[in-house]
Structure 1
């Protein structure tokens, strides 16, 4: 709306502000506000948005406002807004978010095709986004008290446009003076060589792949490099796949660096604790930040080192909202800020391995260091394959259905029990049975809201959908024909625990999975039982296969591993190899017992190349075979993928939306010959087509060039909002997943 001559000109300073607006809202940039004086870029603010006052980040200086009639009006994206609105409050008790953090947000938003404001605000603590100046001051005083610091004088509170003045760059205080070094374990020759090479790589800020066998002492190498960063007055960021699975690491870090401030950042923290830890990192008071994927966005003004432990783990990829890879962002952030990054794993992701191979086999972008030997020269577990085909011929099919353990494996478990040693049984499926069925009429426990089965949980007698959460009591008889003889099909960890107790009378059986670790402190209590020797046989899912230092376990048994060998997901073999190798690494971590440590795998396909490489503990051979297959098939890392997802009221609406998107992509490709090699596959439903009464469809985009794919997505995605609006209520959501983990 044009201003008439009676509208007084605006004065003050224009400031571009990021607020949390999703890309599909049609407002993916900054909004314009007015402040009394210039504000530093990165300053946290509170600004009016509609009827609310929300948190924002100053993202640019638009200069003096001499005359509103000559200035584009961007207030709330409304073209007819007569004037800019004033900044409500400047949160100048905090220093601005630094240039390194802002560069990370810009890159991540562009690469993963999200709105910068949506990403920037979503990675800040939820409590921080709700605080005004007075509340923030109270939180800072609590943090001072918790850390034993003398709080600085509180700045004068300022409200509104008249008070919105420049917030000076707050000097970042260095960490405390180094304490006398703790008593350190002796290093192996491999550890010493790795540390020397890491010191050289740190000078050049080269990404390093630390390829170390399970039990080779990678953690000690990490901590030595952390100590070097702290001695230089810098901060260290340690990323782990799942913080709840590695309580030993957090305890070890705190014991190793007494007097240093160590904070954790992960979704398991309460809102208040997460805010306090984030503030400690942002103010430079925290020396070490230990966290899950979200911690890659921590504001660290004196960052000096990034470690990504178990870098291959799929947990580093966010699966909702902005589907970013924390591992990839860690590498980018380290390069951008000129600091060292260490990617550690016994089974690296194939993308990382390819980047660490010299040209022409790989890209040569990463420096690779090997630590193939266990500490104390302990042996890696011997891999024993149990051929189920032969056992079926010998004992019959019914025996294998009724008994989950082959006789040789059961004998090995009894042998460990008699010796007073521990065993671990891995079955990556929780619950009692995947499905209940009626042999009379064929009824199965399907979910009424999803195209999936409800899992039978015997302990609480429920049928529970692991996709939408819908649960009901187990019926007394078949809902279809009334037959009371409904039976479980297959087995999960709950049933396996029961069968183990029958097969090994007197054995102390424990179970760790998502069902047994819901309560606060329950995981820690169960892990303590394992470490104290109060459990003879531990049954668990992938939760127990990584990150744990079980000293008494000498046997690991993996059941039902074959399904991944023939999955439609091209990454399934890579995940299976990593899971089995990591699980086997829980055995024989005590060098005195390593010689008799074993990994047993029951399989119908003992001649499969994956098992041959696993038996030899030969990850390079496995990776070479997989990379060759992927190169021949044109799959990552030799191509680059994006997955367009749509959720709608009906499957027809979802497919129609994606079909229209494919037509728009074809139009763009005719206009840009450089995009002609990009393949847009026809839309298809995913394996689980319906979840919570919402139909889903997906469409794969494949490109031999990463830059070409990014340019196409940037030009293509703006049209989706118009298509979604035209579809009305039929299309609920759409999203793009760059570098998807599963197809």
Structure 2
């Protein structure tokens, strides 16, 4: 009798699977979790194949220690997607597969579903007669009369004394007490009524709905406030009506609760799973399992949710598809937007990408016909118009702690009108650095190639890259001068300045520091909508996805700094960011205004912003990319190395370059230190590879990386980044 051998994926940095004896397994167990011996350890793995052959002597194979769960945890569809990711991003298959699981499922132990008590009328209970004056009992009886199983929490609204009533009925044999799977959404919500769509919205819904059951990527290009979310909701409603599940991806955690509230109000009777890294392991597991079992019909999540098993998946929606948060920067380095498109293709379903400022790669695909473009050119609220954008010339206006006289006057005008203002600066802390005026010393991070940021309230200097912190010195450590001072402006300094200038105004700072506590951001949003805030100061947390009806002024501080960046994507990112934050103004009946402080009032980027002309500016940038041979007209990969000394990283990359085969369609550049060379006591270097043909590049990488794996890499780490977001 031939031995049964399972190929098991393990979370290890090697590009291979591991063979184990598995006499009890069959092909139906592919995707199942198992515990296996590995050296002196016991590791969790996923079965990827079951057969009778092995490249190793059968006598040397160890048996699987334990088979977990009653059924496979990953279906064939998701395993196929993960195989694609492993191949395309050239990441070990085992590490790729295990990274797709919730943290709780990566532990070598069985999982349990949360259950709750539930009640159901028995046959004798259905014949029971309830006294006419027992109003609470009659309401409870009416609720149970449909014969269905009702979770205990859903009965509380019928009667305040429902517990004692049910206990009495249980003794009489009128009800039975059952255990059922706990629903994800216990909180009762007021059902939202769907508004009537305008012609552009209705047309978008009609065209996407017509593609049901076939792969078709759509780009929904809508100006800020044009009602993209309402289009999402109507599409979800159509998919649910046909028995499908919907996956909605959002870029950041802080957008998930807001969107979840909108979806729950529209679909109060539908289980909605939310998946993001801000959830605890237990809750995330329960939501993942509900989606995997098909109970959760809607899944709202950040990038990792793209790998969630969804047996009835019928539609994928990606909100703010241009956002960099969809790029995973460690482990399996993937772009969730691109993976979602592959998943839709494999599943043969439509996928919609929504944005006011699409990524240039997405826009190029729409221009060339690979994606179907749908446009929303007007704001959804008929009284709302796009804000006017005014440039404040900093060459003629002197700023006080970042605030120009023109911006100060505009803030005062909004205070007089009892309207809200948002001051946007993408730099948290008090000031970007601490400087000695006498000798030129500035506070640098001892672990990174960056300056420490001043956090004056905590009397600390902090590194925003590695987390290093130290006390603010009383004097310059180089020359002893006590006249050292913060230079530049951050959110905390703006908060201090505005509170001094407008002492009666209610000022609220929103950045990563002020929103650390759980539920703090949700509380802040309630304050803003309740009119308890006059001036908001915020970073990119406030730039997108938020709708504050009384906010009519946006002031932008220090946007020019991005214009000096050597990154070829810097202009695209800045335009997108400014367009998004400008869109927070004037979303209801009040007219919005945006003031951008700049020394370059004639810059094409700012002129395009004033016209709200994404299409024109995208055309300009694509022409520049084409002439410079940048993406999307070239395809790139970066081999990165990290070592204690940058010379070691560069030497490794030079040897890796020497391992590459000659190919006239492949360009290999010389190894170079990374822009941020030192980070967290590790020095970094990179080697850029590119080709005008994606297929050629992939074939080259497959052969080349197999050779790199065989190189000695003592005391350093390396990884490959395909389609890098940053170089």
The alignment's TM-score, normalised by the length of structure 1, stands at 0.86
Q: Distance in 1 between matches of 2:468 and 2:263?
A: 40
What secondary structure sits across from 1:653 in the alignment? helix
1:723 aligns with 2:711: yes
CA contact (8 A) 1:245 1:544 kept: no
Q: Where does 1:678-717 land on structure 2 (aligned, <5 Å)?
A: 678-717=666-705
1:20 aligns with 2:11: yes
Q: Distance in 1 between matches of 2:208 and 2:499?
A: 48
Q: CA deviation at 1:481?
A: 2.0
1:256 aligns with 2:266: yes
1:411 aligns with 2:409: yes
Q: Distance in 2 between matches of 1:144 and 1:197?
A: 44
Structure 1's 276 and 131: CA in aligned 2 closer, same or farther, altered over 3 A? farther
2:34 alignment counterpart: 45
> Of 127, 132, 146, which residue of structure 1 is paired with 2:109?
132
Q: Distance in 2 between matches of 1:239 and 1:604?
A: 37
> Of 306, 313, 324, which residue of structure 2 is paired with 1:303?
313
CA contact (8 A) 1:441 1:481 kept: yes
Give unmatched runs, 5+ long, in structure 1.
Answer: 1-9, 66-70, 75-80, 151-174, 392-398, 670-674
Q: Distance in 1 between matches of 2:526 and 2:547?
A: 11
Q: CA deviation at 1:505?
A: 2.5
Q: Where does 1:51-200 land on structure 2 (aligned, <5 Å)?
A: 51-63=40-52, 71-73=54-56, 82-133=59-110, 136=111, 139-142=112-115, 183-200=193-210
What secondary structure sits across from 1:625 in the alignment? helix
Q: Distance in 2 between matches of 1:208 and 1:436?
A: 48
2:634 alignment counterpart: 639
1:452 alignment counterpart: 450
Q: Distance in 1 between matches of 2:26 and 2:255?
A: 46
What secondary structure sits across from 2:718 in the alignment? strand
Q: CA deviation at 1:657?
A: 0.8
Q: Deviations over 1:26-51 (max 9, x none)?
A: x4234343223424222222222223
Moved more, 611-620 or 28-37: 28-37
What secondary structure sits across from 1:370 in the alignment? strand
CA contact (8 A) 1:386 1:601 kept: yes
Q: CA deviation at 1:636?
A: 0.4
CA contact (8 A) 2:431 2:486 kept: yes
Q: Where does 1:378-417 land on structure 2 (aligned, <5 Å)?
A: 378-391=384-397, 399-400=398-399, 402-417=400-415
How many residues are matched? 662
1:315 aligns with 2:325: yes
Q: Distance in 1 between matches of 2:705 and 2:235?
A: 42
Q: Distance in 2 between matches of 1:634 and 1:35?
A: 55
What secondary structure sits across from 2:322 in the alignment? coil
Q: Distance in 2 between matches of 1:651 and 1:482?
A: 32
2:568 alignment counterpart: 570
Q: Deviations over 1:122-174 (max 9, x none)?
A: 120121122434xx2xx125389899789xxxxxxxxxxxxxxxxxxxxxxxx
2:361 alignment counterpart: 351
1:601 alignment counterpart: 596
1:658 alignment counterpart: 653
Q: Distance in 1 between matches of 2:312 and 2:631?
A: 35
1:612 alignment counterpart: 607
2:619 alignment counterpart: 624
2:549 alignment counterpart: 551
1:267 alignment counterpart: 277
Q: Distance in 2 between matches of 1:182 and 1:452?
A: 49
Q: CA deviation at 1:52?
A: 2.6
1:432 aligns with 2:438: no
What secondary structure sits across from 1:342 in the alignment? strand
Q: Distance in 2 between matches of 1:540 and 1:209?
A: 29
Q: Distance in 1 between matches of 2:12 and 2:329?
A: 19
Q: Distance in 1 between matches of 2:597 and 2:709?
A: 50
Moved more, 685-694 or 553-562: 685-694
The alignment's TM-score, normalised by the length of structure 2, stands at 0.88
Q: Distance in 2 between matches of 1:30 and 1:149?
A: 45
Q: Deviations over 1:205-251 (max 9, x none)?
A: 21000001111111011011111111111111110001223422111
Moved more, 445-454 or 413-422: 445-454
What secondary structure sits across from 2:296 in the alignment? coil
1:210 alignment counterpart: 220
CA contact (8 A) 1:34 1:84 kept: no
Q: Distance in 1 between matches of 2:114 and 2:479?
A: 66
Structure 1's 30 and 86: CA in aligned 2 closer, same or farther, altered over 3 A? closer
CA contact (8 A) 1:198 1:208 kept: yes
Q: Distance in 1 between matches of 2:213 and 2:281?
A: 38
CA contact (8 A) 1:513 1:540 kept: yes
Q: Distance in 2 between matches of 1:316 and 1:330?
A: 11
What secondary structure sits across from 2:584 in the alignment? coil
> What RMSD in Å do the two structures reach over aligned CA positions?
2.2
Q: Distance in 2 between matches of 1:341 and 1:719?
A: 37
What secondary structure sits across from 2:248 in the alignment? strand
Q: Deviations over 1:642-674 (max 9, x none)?
A: 111110111111111111111112xx11xxxxx
What secondary structure sits across from 1:208 in the alignment? strand
CA contact (8 A) 2:555 2:595 kept: yes
Moved more, 88-97 or 256-265: 88-97
Give unmatched runs, 5+ long, in structure 2.
Answer: 120-148, 153-183
1:291 alignment counterpart: 301
What secondary structure sits across from 1:53 in the alignment? strand
Q: Deviations over 1:692-715 (max 9, x none)?
A: 221111111111011111111111
Q: Distance in 2 between matches of 1:642 and 1:430?
A: 32
Q: Deviations over 1:55-83 (max 9, x none)?
A: 222211213x7xxxxx5327xxxxxx843
Moved more, 141-150 or 539-548: 141-150
CA contact (8 A) 2:220 2:354 kept: yes
2:441 alignment counterpart: 443
Q: Distance in 2 between matches of 1:247 and 1:604?
A: 38
CA contact (8 A) 1:12 1:37 kept: no
